[in-house]
Amino acid sequence: MADFNYRAIDDFIHSRVRLMIMSYLAAARSAEFTVLKKALEVSDGNLSTHIKKLEDVGYVLQSKRFVGKKPQTLIAITEKGDKAFKVYVESLAAMVGLKQD
């Protein structure tokens, strides 16, 4: 724990919902808004608010399109977001004394 720097914990990711979003996207790379909402079991407004915060810092991108006549919003993790998430996970591992290989 002596090597742990608590400042390395990214406050933009550390929120419970944003951590769930980033975890999902780190694995899936992208997800349609309604799929993400269902997987995370959050409301439209709650998910939108957290996605906006992640988008503002460049961790995710939103793209909107129509599939047939239905609007669809796709959320994707960015390279910056992917790197930030990896650093976040490594920082947590260091905090609890786990080594990352």
Sorted by where each begins, the domain ranges of the chain are: 6-95
Mean pLDDT over each residue of the chain, to the nearest integer = 91
pLDDT in tens, 26-78: 999 999 999 999 999 999 999 999 999 999 999 999 999 998 999 999 999 99
- Which top CATH class is 6-95? mainly alpha
pTM of the model: 0.88
What angle, rounded to 10 degrees, do the helices at 33-40 and 44-56 form? 110
- pLDDT value, residue 9: 85
Q: How would you list the strands of the sheet with 60-67, edge to edge? A: 30-32, 70-77, 60-67
Under 8 Å between Cβ of 47 and 24: no
Confidence of residue 17 (pLDDT cuts 50, 70, 90): very high
Closest to 64 measured CA to CA, from 33, 98, 28, 27: 33
Under 8 Å between Cβ of 85 and 29: no
